[in-house]
Structure 1
């Protein structure tokens, strides 16, 4: 609840000029909808309304919009479950109003109350002076006698919030008995304010719906946390580029192979957002399927290139594919246009693996890439990652890989803490690219 006692904003009179009313609405347009946060938008509305239009204000929104970001199923609904998202007062007894109309209250208004009538008819309901009987009806409906105390003799106005012909909730404006009562001109101004408010609320709803859809998509595409693999400890991170979609084309995977071996995969479909994520899901599924055939890394990437070229001839992707055999310690790695993995031996400094990368996936070159083989001794750590981790606007990939090597070569840490340290550096840089990071450490040290 906002208390505006002491804020020096003059009441807009009922006989205000057209210019004054337009100035008020222009001010409202600038102050409402500054973010795509639904609750903040509602707070901004009552901030505009009090005290310019009213002594007190409250804004109720259908609960389905808040919890599910879904549009109401009916154009009007007097029995809808609504939540009071914001209140504001410019009165001498704000505590009474706070008790009478608590912010956050979830309720259904009885059909005989003005609030329900506004939602049922999609029309403004107002009383130049609210008589004692209506005030007491409100009080009895919620079991709070203080409601009758603050509403008796007040001027009371309820206007529905409509977007796309659907009532999303309503805005309540109240003037105390000592204030000038609402006139028809005030109701018209309140309706225009409610119209602009409803548009902002709908925009916030669409934002949250799209964001939730994107998060659901991402969670379905990225693998679940891998089970501990024989002879191998694994940790991973994914950082999205966008605040809205939170999805992109980067992925990682840890795949069980025959004879207790493990495949480690990191890839990057060019682009960001839902489109890149959808392509990534197909490429990742294809890589997972090919891994089940237990091909060597070169053959796996060769076949994956053919799949990507057929599925998405206009898309390209990079990928690093590695297999690890705990019985021999042999690590075999191949790359299709991907940044080089970094290997940190248990007894030496981290170094990028000397891989000769082939063309990116989707180019369709028809060539098999070379496989780099080395031995991961107990305690050695392998870092697979995407270029968003090491490349920034201010430095090239080689410099970024050097920074990564410095972090890997620092004091020995468990892989989860090491992942956090590496990705935190990227967050601080404020770069806008997806990042996938996969760390694997050979057991035994």
Structure 2
């Protein structure tokens, strides 16, 4: 893909001469609208069920609400200011790290404007679902004890001041984009970002009362497995949609996503069957998500062989993160957002540099495309991992304390936590049985 075309896809049409202006393609437009709907389905349905099934019955409704309402708040924040901060332009040297406010409230964008071969409004909505699911991922680390009001304030601010700058640096014309970072659909921007934010919040909010001495069994493994299945289905919009059109690259992403995920599910089962002597449905569902996360940054860049390795290793890393690292370090990441999303996403980001095909028609501009410099590409991937990790870490801490100050503290009181957040906060029960 020529760099000017990629820039066009990222809403920099001023770089393109008038006579080369793209024309609307109805097939690409239809595919991008469907992809947007698929990514939306991943969160209020897929991720909410995946998380809800893993929590205790007295908190299942609150867990669902954290995802469902958090997604909505984040999407609103995205349209108001997040999009502009991610894909707008800032004055001077600031543009290397953050976009400006030139498109605040989508100012200056007409309904007839195009991003590549489909409407800019569709691109805005598509990218907004990415921002919103990143916020929702982080909620999995602090369910059952974070105040709902604090979470909503956090989601709004974090979308604009943490997610948007990272998206700009990697995708929107920032310095990592210019360096040639390869992140096809969000290994760094979405999964590392959301997973690490979750871990930071888990440490700041503190452990659940009784953790880890009291058994906190999942309410319904069946709901979790259903959520994983919906995530897998919706992920085709996430990955294949990131080809920005109904084209051959989308086909590559669709196939690599499927094979990596299937391999990851079986790998997780084999590991736990070997170690714990029981192949669990929860393990299979966790393997599915680990595989989806790991292949996300590589989906449109690798072949089937690379996808198999990415999925298998991503599952191994996710398993040991959940089963052993969590116990070793003692943190209470309630639903393992860090163990699966951050760790598998980190592996996927690095593996993209290792396994990306040296095919000039697949790659974005970067060391590997420019000169076949494999090690140079790996170093760029490592740079993006380090930068995203640092920005997420610092930014999440700052935003949490701001949100806590606004809402009078970040954690529910002991009585609310004991009774359960469903009745104490929402006045409802997830299950009236």
Bigger radius of gyration:
1
Greater share of strand: 1
With normalisation by structure 2, the TM-score equals 0.26
Larger RCO of the pair (alpha carbons < 8 Å, separation 6+): 2
Greater share of helix: 2
With normalisation by structure 1, the TM-score equals 0.26
